[in-house]
Amino acid sequence: MHNRALAATAVLASAALLASGCSPSEHAAEPAASATSEETSTQTAVSNTLEFDNAVVRAKEAGADMPMTAIFGTLRNPTDEDVTVTGFSSSLGDARYEIHKTEDGKMSPVEGGLTIPAGEAVELAPGGFHLMVLDFPAEIPAGDTVDLTLETDKGEIQVPGVAVRSLIPGEENYGEDGEMTGHGSHEGHGSHEGHEHH
């Protein structure tokens, strides 16, 4: 009996040592988990500063005579702070990306970025604000998708899988000539007036 009691005591002591040996590593892992959680929260906060509803890229054929296209949709700001879109890029790669507006039938880049007021939305549409992809002669076929990266004063926002369409529902005509107003024949741009190459 005495030997059995000693054996039981030894087993309990070993279990206690093992438990105490695991505890420090488990506690040490907790701060790392917290840090990861905080980092994820920060990334989520940045990505939630803007919503790009109904985003669409206008399809285009290949050719140096039409090295441009436009991106439309609705930029929605659900936060309680203004957000300014200062630029953008896309998975199309090498091109010139500009935020444009139409005033009195003339296209021009938006200086200083496009501000989306807190709790409001700004529509990107033919004849108004829109995103332009310039100096891109390659084809952008309907049915493809394009990933966008919006650059804002709050950080970058990823907009994956934007649909490419040849016609946009409700906006079959882009102007009186059936093209994007001011862009189809380069009207309002002249020889890319105001679009110096960087």
Q: Average pLDDT for residues 73-83, to the nearest whole number? A: 96
Do residues 109 and 195 make contact, with C-beta atoms less than 8 angstroms apart?
A: yes
CB 110 within 8 A of CB 129: yes
134 and 96 in contact (C-beta within 8 Å)?
Answer: yes
Q: Is the dihedral of CA 28, 29, 30, 34 positive or negative?
A: positive
Q: Tell whether the model's pLDDT for residue 144 goes beyond 80.
A: yes
Residues 8-35 pLDDT 10s: 444 444 444 444 444 444 444 455 544 4
For residue 167, the model assigns a pLDDT of 63
Per the listing, tokens 């959680």 go with: 37
- Least confident window among 5-19, 57-71, 182-196: 182-196
State pTM to two decimals. Answer: 0.65
Q: SS3 for 43?
A: helix
